[in-house]
A and B are shown apart, each in its own frame.
Chain A
Amino acid sequence: MKKHTVKITVNGKEHQSEIDARTLLTHFLRDHLNITSTNIGCDTSQCGACTVLVNGESVKSCTQLAVQMDGAEITTAANDQISDIEVIKRNFHESHGLQCGYCTPGMVMSSHELLKQNSNPSDDEIRDALHGNICRCTGYHNIIEAVKKSAAEIREGAAS
């Protein structure tokens, strides 16, 4: 099988790799780069456990081929340089928004994207924004709380 060369920046670090055309972004991150913050929960793009940001937009990394990502900037939950992501993580922790934690990195990334677009979402808007991320443990209640608290903190931070 023909190999393709791609240059992909993940969490600020550039990686050049030779990959098969069929390599999914999620497998590329996990198997080639050992970045484990993209959990795989399904094979039909339902669960969102693999969500990352590609050039700032949330994407299910199991539905993208790594070759399509040539030149892209990817952000995963492992990125500790983005203060909003850190705020979201802290609130997930404080509000008990995670149990087994398998869905969590994906939840954090989807929440981050939501809060970039809508700094003051209602409960319904949060639930709507997260409907592509399945959590089997928490019942979402505390996740919604965590996102609401994060929104308020990020707004305050921006105002001060």
Chain B
Amino acid sequence: MNQQSPISKTQNLSQGYIGKSVPRREDARLLDGAGQFIDNMKLPNMTYSAVLRSPYAHARLLSINTEEALSLKGIVGILTGEDLKGKVGLIRPNWIAGQDIQIPDHPVLAFDKVNYTGDAVAFIVGESREAVQDALEMIEVEYEVLDPIIDEEEAFQEGAVQIHEGIKNNRAGKPLMAWGDYRKAAEEADQIVSLKLINNRLIPSAMEPRVLLASFDKYSEKLEMYIPSQVPHLHRRWISDTLGWPEHKIHLKVPDIGGGFGAKMHLYVEEILVAYAAKHFGCPIKWTETRSESHLSTHHGRAHTQYIDLAIKNDGTVLGLKLKLFANMGAYLSNMATGVPSVNCTYFANGNYNIPNYFAQTNLIFTNTVPVDAYRGAGRPEATYLIERSMDKVAEVLGMDPLEVRRKNVIQKFPHNFYDSGSFLKCMEEAKSSFKYEEKRELQAQAREEGRYLGIGIINYTESCGMAPSTVLGNLGFDRGGYESAEIKVHPDGKVTLFTGSTPQGHGHHTSFAQIVASELQIPMEDVEVITGDTEAVPVGVGTYNSRSMAVGGSAAKICAGKVIEKAKKYAALKLRCKEESVLYQEGHFFTEENEKRIPFAKIARMAAVPHHKPEDVTPGLDQLYTHDPISMSSPNGSHAAFVEVDIETGKIEILEYLAVDDAGNLINPMLAEGQIHGGIAQGIGQALYENTVYSEDGQLLSGSLLDYAVPKADQLPSFKTDFLYTPTQTNPLGAKGIGEAGTIAAPPALVSAVCDALKPFGIDHIDMPLTPPKIWKAIQSASQDKGGAS
């Protein structure tokens, strides 16, 4: 992999369906409202359930009285922490990143103490939605309320309330990441520039809340559960570990999911409760989260306080970066929680730039809040934001053009230690020219004369996608495989079914994976069926996160299809009376150079399925199973640009233009890729301008519903301009890098950069997200007072 990948402006992939914007086959049922969402399903004798949650952020649990609730008509039973003791294990994290990580006990139902508002205290099963709701009100719980701690920096102070016994300073760990010699860089620098940034806490907010439906067959001792999971095979393992039930007796099924964004790949207490209770009470159980409950129980994202020092030369060269990070973990360690800040963020905090000296310390801090874990982007948004804000700060301090500072430091040689390939400078240049940067600067100057405040933000990002290979993940303490599976069943009529471990939540896998397999097998797409999200139908799998579907799962499918053809050639050789090596395959037919006869794929499929004539040492059938463990991750990159106007009377921001230039290598279905970019930008703009998770001092979640948590609406977003460069990665046979998280990573710094640029005349160089009108207005007011008005 030492030759540089070509950067190109057009995708050169005319192979079959690959590179074509094929409309999705999953749409019809969704448009009719006939989607297979779990809450739409019913099982015979199904019961309903609800979780009683702690109303306090931090309290001792003195007693629970369920008698009255149990006597209510239609109540099947109630479980409390005491009932589960010794029968159900603890919820364990799945990524232990760094030495000496402290893992506090996380029981499925609290028994002596609750640690956040929303912590699960009891589980009710009943015959109707209404019955369980009524019973919720009748359970009596006696609490001794303790002081809560919400802020990650306060929680770290000496003398702060301690949440978990034996965990000093509420610190789960302090992983380090370093290269070069930051201290020396600081000595050699002309100056040190410092910033403090808050990366706001977010609620993932998939439109479908979490929902589960489980039944247990006492004869086969088998659990069947519908679960909205991005990683069904991993969920099966975690449920097995927690309950101590054999993995092969757990069958998870994932039908349509109404969005995941990372939050649906963590292990939650409800999954254990529903599974356990289905066996315990002997009835099928459904659990459906309400939206308000979702805010209190589905894991949050981001939540960092970051201190940054940059050692710089006066010509704009960055010699070193020092980072001190306080990452709010919430009350317990969720699945990937430790790795998100201490690997995904700090490992990529140099962004697209050469920073020879680096030192980062991450403090993983417990607070009395909902656990924080990976949410779309998972660490890379936090990293990109900090480095891009830093570049702007350097430009500000030195009076340089922000793009010049970036150009000075940008990585131009690939492969690079961190990145397999990239088009960092090219993307920035592309963005600069299609955004008409110079023209916009002129517009900005003119507008300022008229008392209008326009701002431009152009930022760069890169990310690492397709977590792999397995051996590296092992070294990082990430307890998962880095592979993905593909199994192709070839039916006797020549049609095929692909079973993939990659599990969509609106991505369109049923279309894009069919494109890959149909192209490789050179058969019509209609002849390819795609099956996902079933731990029995799909033999093995890892799942969907870290934008790994195409790069890892798609590659597995392509290689697997190639193996089908290889085997088919053995049968074809028999038919063509030639050596296997001389069999050629084109346009869905087998032939040889010598032999005019062309045998269609379907004919060989039939021959292999009914193997009356079979090559020696070849098994019947053409089916193949392949697990692909890539040689490394790949790194998409891009540059996003925002043009905004700030109304200084009201603090309101209008986005005049948003441009995304992305390079994710080869795109299998450009229309779907663009859709991923759009959705990502929307969530990124959400973080920058609207979304924030606010707790009161006593630990009540004030952003408790969609009334109080501002997910962007149609009238709050602009239309987006998108553009692509194509630098195929050599790390997988598709050359695809991953695109799912790009927008979420790039949009926050682009927006904040643009708004701060607009407010430059007020001497404002940074405001923490979300940039709400009152915040902007206040910043302008206090800046005007300090400086005696805008110049």
A136 at the B interface (CB under 8 A):
yes
- Could you tell me which B residues sit within 8 Å of A by CB distance? 23-24, 26-35, 37, 39-40, 129-130, 205-209, 256-259, 261, 290-292, 505-508, 671-672, 674-675, 678-683, 705-707, 711, 713-717, 719-720, 743
A49 to B206, CA, bound (A): 12
Chain A interface residue bracket vs B: 35 or more
A82 at the B interface (CB under 8 A):
no
A80 at the B interface (CB under 8 A):
yes
Q: How far is the CB of B477 from chain A (nearest CB, A)?
A: 31
A143 to B672, CA, bound (A): 14
CB atoms of B40 and A36 under 8 A apart: yes
CB atoms of B679 and A101 under 8 A apart: no
> Which among B207, B671, B679, B706 is the interface contact of A139 at CB below 8 angstroms?
B679
CB atoms of A102 and B261 under 8 A apart: no
A156 at the B interface (CB under 8 A):
no
CB atoms of A136 and B683 under 8 A apart: yes
Q: In the complex, which residues of chain B have a beta carbon less than 8 angstroms from the beta carbon of A41?
A: 207-209, 258, 291
CB atoms of A127 and B715 under 8 A apart: yes
> Which among A37, A127, A138 is the interface contact of B678 at CB below 8 angstroms?
A138
CB atoms of A139 and B206 under 8 A apart: no
Q: How far is the CB of A138 from chain B (nearest CB, A)?
A: 6
CB atoms of B713 and A134 under 8 A apart: yes
CB atoms of B259 and A137 under 8 A apart: yes
CB atoms of B256 and A101 under 8 A apart: yes
CB atoms of B23 and A135 under 8 A apart: no
Give the residue name and chain of the B residue nearest to A141 (CB): B678
Give the residue name and chain of the B residue nearest to A90 (CB): B31
A143 to B680, CA, bound (A): 15
Q: In the complex, which residues of chain A have a beta carbon less than 8 angstroms from the beta carbon of B208?
A: 39, 41, 100, 102
Give the residue name and chain of the B residue nearest to A134 (CB): B711
> Contacts A44-B706, A100-B256, A136-B205; is A89 near B40 (CB within 8 Å)?
no
Instruction: Render A71-101 as a binary contact track against B, CB cut-off 8 A, 1 for contact.
Output: 0000011101000000001001110101111
CB atoms of B258 and A102 under 8 A apart: yes
CB atoms of A43 and B292 under 8 A apart: yes
> Which among B32, B130, B256, B720 is the interface contact of A80 at CB below 8 angstroms?
B32
Q: How far is the CB of B627 from chain A (nearest CB, A)?
A: 27
Additional pairs, 7, CB under 8 Å, beyond known A127-B717, A140-B717: A39-B33, A41-B258, A99-B508, A102-B206, A123-B719, A137-B675, A139-B682
**Can you sample 18 A-B contacts with CB below 8 Å?**
A39-B37, A41-B291, A44-B707, A46-B291, A78-B32, A92-B27, A92-B31, A96-B23, A99-B506, A99-B508, A100-B30, A101-B26, A102-B37, A104-B31, A136-B205, A139-B682, A141-B720, A142-B675
Q: In the complex, which residues of chain B have a beta carbon less than 8 angstroms from the beta carbon of A30?
A: 39-40
A131 at the B interface (CB under 8 A):
yes
Which of B32, B33, B508 neighbours the largest number of chain A CB atoms within 10 Å of its CB?
A: B33
Closest 3 CB pairs of A and B: A37-B33, A101-B30, A100-B506
Which of B29, B37, B505, B675 neighbours the largest number of chain A CB atoms within 10 Å of its CB?
A: B675
Q: In the complex, which residues of chain A have a beta carbon less than 8 angstroms from the beta carbon of B508?
A: 99
A133 at the B interface (CB under 8 A):
yes
> Which among A22, A36, A127, A133 is the interface contact of B35 at CB below 8 angstroms?
A36
A40 at the B interface (CB under 8 A):
yes
- Could you tell me which A residues sit within 8 Å of B by CB distance? 20, 22, 27, 30-31, 35-44, 46-47, 49, 76-78, 80, 89, 92-94, 96, 98-105, 108, 123-124, 126-128, 130-144
CB atoms of A141 and B719 under 8 A apart: yes
> Contacts A37-B34, A101-B35; is A140 near B682 (CB within 8 Å)?
yes
Q: In the complex, which residues of chain A have a beta carbon less than 8 angstroms from the beta carbon of B39?
A: 30, 39-40
Give the residue name and chain of the A residue nearest to B747 (CB): A139
Q: In the complex, which residues of chain A have a beta carbon less than 8 angstroms from the beta carbon of B716?
A: 131
Give the residue name and chain of the B residue nearest to A128 (CB): B715
Q: In the complex, which residues of chain B have a beta carbon less than 8 angstroms from the beta carbon of A143?
A: 714
Q: In the complex, which residues of chain A have a beta carbon less than 8 angstroms from the beta carbon of B256?
A: 100-101
CB atoms of A136 and B711 under 8 A apart: yes
A130 to B713, CA, bound (A): 8
Q: In the complex, which residues of chain B have a beta carbon less than 8 angstroms from the beta carbon of A40?
A: 39, 209
CB atoms of A139 and B261 under 8 A apart: no
CB atoms of B714 and A93 under 8 A apart: no
> Which among B24, B32, B679 is the interface contact of A77 at CB below 8 angstroms?
B32
CB atoms of B291 and A76 under 8 A apart: no
A89 to B31, CA, bound (A): 6
Give the residue name and chain of the A residue nearest to B40 (CB): A36
Q: In the complex, which residues of chain A have a beta carbon less than 8 angstroms from the beta carbon of B29?
A: 101
Q: In the complex, which residues of chain A have a beta carbon less than 8 angstroms from the beta carbon of B719?
A: 123, 141, 144
A42 to B27, CA, bound (A): 23
Q: In the complex, which residues of chain B have a beta carbon less than 8 angstroms from the beta carbon of A142?
A: 675, 678
Give the residue name and chain of the A residue nearest to B685 (CB): A139
> Contacts A141-B720, A144-B714; is A98 near B40 (CB within 8 Å)?
no
Which of B31, B35, B209, B506 neighbours the largest number of chain A CB atoms within 10 Å of its CB?
A: B31
CB atoms of A43 and B290 under 8 A apart: yes
> Contacts A36-B35, A123-B719, A143-B714; is A99 near B40 (CB within 8 Å)?
no
A120 to B83, CA, bound (A): 62
> Which among A93, A102, A126 is the interface contact of B259 at CB below 8 angstroms?
A102
CB atoms of B506 and A137 under 8 A apart: yes
Give the residue name and chain of the B residue nearest to A125 (CB): B715
Q: In the complex, which residues of chain B have a beta carbon less than 8 angstroms from the beta carbon of A134?
A: 207, 706, 711, 713
Which of B30, B205, B683 neighbours the largest number of chain A CB atoms within 10 Å of its CB?
A: B30
